[in-house]
Structure 1
Amino acid sequence: MSVDYGRYTALKIARPAPRILEIVLSAPGRLNALDHEGHGELAEIWRDVDKDPDTAVVLLRGEGGTFSAGGDLAMVEEMADDWTTRMRVWKEASDIVYNVINCSKPVVSAIEGVGVGAGLAAALVSDITVAGRTARIIDGHTRLGVAAGDHSAIVWPLLCGMAKAKYYLLLCETVTGEEAERIGLVSLAVDDDRVVAEAMAVCEKLAAGAPAAIRLTKHALNNWLRQAGPAFDASLALEFLGFSGPEVREGLASLKEKRKPDFDPDSPF
């Protein structure tokens, strides 16, 4: 039975070619930042993909030449203020990572422009990642004033090694697509105007391949990520603990006011 994707409204769904499903992060005017609805949909859709008999491979990208600017600041502010919202988003953040990992169908992500936050989590735990050479990949957690959770602890050390992971995650430094390919954070870096086309070409190759062999290979390789699950679970818990503290409020204020944060140098930890 075919899957009906009509209930997804924050994500745009298309079929650019037979057996290929395209999921597009779409928030015009907000650089595809994910609000409550988009965050929830990005967590849930992989379950539908997994059971969809008409889909062999997924292309994940952002609309308008930008992948995603992270979480909508209004949602972040509500997470800091409201326990119920914080717990709901925590569960969704976990599901985004685990549902992509456990989806039997291969996922190819196309990272154009900026990639931050929950959208970046889905992109970097995808099976093949194609980035523009000048794309900007940023794990923005410590800049916001919370621990680097989401996908960071589960996949960055495996992809680019602990030394590079600590450098970029602790300092919140930007990684260009070209540098990301050099250190192994993404699969391919291509000219900026070729990102989606190259990712689509990869999808077409996967769609034409032996489906069971490809899916079982993904399942076997992702056991490395499953083994890192306890580190991921701990990082996510520590990240969301930070949403109840003072540092996230200063980080959020500084982002809204477009200034450098002024964090209190004294810490109970």
Structure 2
Amino acid sequence: MSNRYAAYTRLKLDYPAERILRITFDRPETYNSVDAETHTQLTHIWRDIDSDPDISAVIVNGVAVGAGLVVGILATGAGKAFSAGGDFELIKSLLDNPAARMATWKEAKDLVYNVINCNKPIISAINGVAVGAGLVVGILADVSICGKSARIVDGHTRLGVAAGDVACIIWPLLCGLAKAKYYLLTCKPLSGEEAERIGLVSLCVEDAELQSIALETAQDLATGAQSAIRWTKYALNNWLRVNGPLFDTSTALEILGFAGNEAREGLASHLEKRKPAFPKDCPI
């Protein structure tokens, strides 16, 4: 393992094939929820991948990344879930600490833009439950692959904050504004098959084939014409860059929501495993 990845202790890293780096969310005891340190490491690793001449694909057990030639990034989750979203301790810090809110806001922006600007193709392999913050890489990947039993939920409004992260920059582009509004406003879950049907993900496959198909896709990209693939990705991602102001606004409004009573009730209802009772009055 290259020393450039030694600091990424919250992410399980390995090489499943030559020139392919695999990133795995590995907190199965919390369904791979994203705590503060994991969020920071997941934000910064894309710059190292971008500049790594020895990597040509990545798999985030869920996604694959590659450097050098082409990079297919695969990210995945250990255990039963790709990622359950934000860790409750992280969320609590956002409620109580203005400095934590500002730091997380900056990281949330950097994470999305770092993935967009990473010159290696990214492939996500989404298994089990994928929620909120855990969906950023999964949905933003260049090729997103999910198993049939995958359950995708944005989850922000159920927590009492605006749908920030990557929702407003990518969901309408992938599945249209009507579907994006329905799923982001209601937090209704999508199966892997429904996600593919509406265009939210690239492919839906049998659960048993998820990892092999993700790896095969990464290897295809890693052995292709590298400059052609990278330039194509760069050009296509201008669809996302041009919508940067939409993303910046949504993420700022999400962070603002953590200073309000709705987010406190949303967190309390999650911890107490009950339906939330949000305040009925709204100043907006």
TM-score category, normalised to shorter length: over 0.9
Cα distance, 1:8 vs. partner?
0.6
Partner of 1:131: 146
Aligned twin of 1:162: 177
For structure 2, the residue ranges without an aligned partner over 5 or more in a row are 58-64, 66-73
Q: Distance in 2 between matches of 1:64 and 1:197?
A: 17
In the alignment, which residue of structure 1 is the partner of 2:195?
180
TM-score, normalisation: structure 1: 0.98
CA distance in 1, matches of 2:249, 2:53: 35
The answer for the alignment partner of 1:142 in structure 2 is 157
Q: What corresponds to 1:239 in structure 2?
A: 254
SS of the counterpart of 1:217?
A: helix
What is residue 8 of structure 2 aligned with on the other side?
A: 8
CA–CA distance in structure 2, aligned partners of residues 67 and 92 of structure 1: 20
Amino acid at match of 1:15: Y
Task: State TM-score, norm by structure 2.
Answer: 0.93
Is the partner of 2:30 in helix, strand or coil? coil
Displacement of 1:28 in angstroms is 2.9
Contact 1:68-1:120 at 8 Å conserved across structures: yes
Pair 1:69-2:88 in alignment = no
Counting only pairs closer than 5 Å after superposition, residues 1-269 of structure 1 correspond to structure 2 as 4-57=4-57, 58=65, 59-269=74-284
Q: Give the paired residue count.
A: 268
- The whole-number CA distance in structure 2 between the counterparts of 1:182 and 1:201 is 22
Indicate the SS of the match to 1:4.
helix
Q: Deviations over 1:16-49 (max 9, x none)?
A: 1111111111113011101111010010000000
Percent identity of equivalent pairs = 57
Does the CA contact (< 8 Å) of 1:86 and 1:240 recur in 2? yes
Q: Secondary structure at the match of 1:64?
A: coil
CA displacement 1:161-192 (0-9 Å, x = unmatched): 00000000000110111000000000000011
**TM superposition outliers: structure 1 runs of 4+ over 3 Å:** none
TM-aligned CA deviation for residue 3 of structure 1: 5.6
**Which letter maps to 1:245?**
G
Measure, in 2, the Cα distance between the counterparts of 1:173 and 1:207.
36
Say which SS state the counterpart of residue 213 (structure 1) adopts. helix
CA distance in 2, matches of 1:3, 1:107: 22
> Mind listing any 5+ residue stretches in structure 1 that lack a counterpart?
none
Secondary structure of the corresponding residue to residue 67 of structure 1: strand
The SS at the match of 1:244 is coil
Give the aligned CA root-mean-square deviation in angstroms: 0.9
> What one-letter code is carried by the residue in structure 1 that aligns with 2:13?
I
Whether the 8 Å contact between 1:3 and 1:52 is mirrored in structure 2 is no
